[in-house]
């Protein structure tokens, strides 16, 4: 929650959006404290998301399970119909490679990239743009070989990417709690 406060701190009545520093340089991913049991959601990933979770992000309706990935083997839960036709994607991945790569990224591709710790689990929150309402990713390890990935593609700015990422971090923390963190 400290990271969320740091992300949203500094907003004033003038509408100014804070610009937290991009995590610079390559970092090693911290150790994962333990493995969470996500097995009961393997066949119904959308069972992790509740209407209230989605409503907090401005989504209406029910999420649906979609196959994703290059070979359509990674299940994904997708919610659409968010603010200005935005979308939310939730997936569980059976490895930590993209999270490790996010920690080690020095490409400068992301205008905002920050290492986070959610309920003692290592993660990264990132967005290619800080002010523009681009997508936001939250990647969090939930085991030695498993990761929770959230991507929000908003249709409106509602505070820019930092505010969008803050709301997505709140959802990620809620999902971790549901998984037993």
pLDDT at 30 over 90: yes
Percentage of the chain exceeding pLDDT 70: 73
pLDDT (0 to 100) of residue 71: 55
What pTM was estimated for this model as a whole?
A: 0.81
Distances (CA, A) of 100 to 28, 42, 117, 129, 180: 7, 23, 14, 21, 23
Least Cα distance to 161 among 113, 138, 129, 116 occurs for 129
Tell me: pLDDT of 148 over 70: yes
Q: Residue for token digits 């290592």?
A: 122
User: Which of 13-22, 38-47, 86-95, 129-138 comes out lowest in average pLDDT?
Assistant: 13-22
As a whole number, the mean pLDDT across the chain is 78
pLDDT the model gives residue 60: 75
pLDDT tens figures, 43-96:
888 999 888 888 877 777 778 887 665 555 567 888 887 655 678 889 988 889
Burial bucket for residue 48 (CB in 10 Å: 0-12, 13-18, 19+): buried
Nearest to 20 by CA among 174, 166, 168, 171: 166
């Amino acid at each position: 929650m400290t990271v969320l406060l740091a992300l949203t701190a500094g907003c004033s009545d003038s509408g100014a959006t804070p610009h937290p520093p991009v995590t610079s340089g390559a970092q090693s991913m911290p150790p994962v404290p333990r493995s969470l049991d996500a097995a009961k959601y393997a066949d119904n990933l959308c069972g992790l998301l509740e209407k209230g979770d989605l409503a907090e992000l401005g989504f209406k309706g029910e999420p649906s399970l979609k196959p994703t990935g290059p070979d359509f083997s990674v299940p994904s839960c997708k919610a659409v119909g968010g603010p200005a036709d935005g979308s939310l994607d939730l997936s569980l991945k059976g490895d930590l490679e993209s999270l490790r790569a996010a920690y080690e990224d020095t490409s400068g591709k992301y205008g905002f990239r920050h290492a986070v710790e959610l309920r003692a689990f290592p993660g990264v929150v990132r967005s290619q743009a800080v002010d523009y309402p681009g997508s936001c990713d939250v990647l969090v390890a939930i085991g030695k070989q498993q990761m929770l990935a959230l991507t929000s593609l908003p249709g409106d700015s509602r505070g820019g990417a930092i505010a969008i990422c803050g709301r997505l971090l709140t959802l990620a923390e809620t999902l971790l709690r549901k998984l037993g963190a």
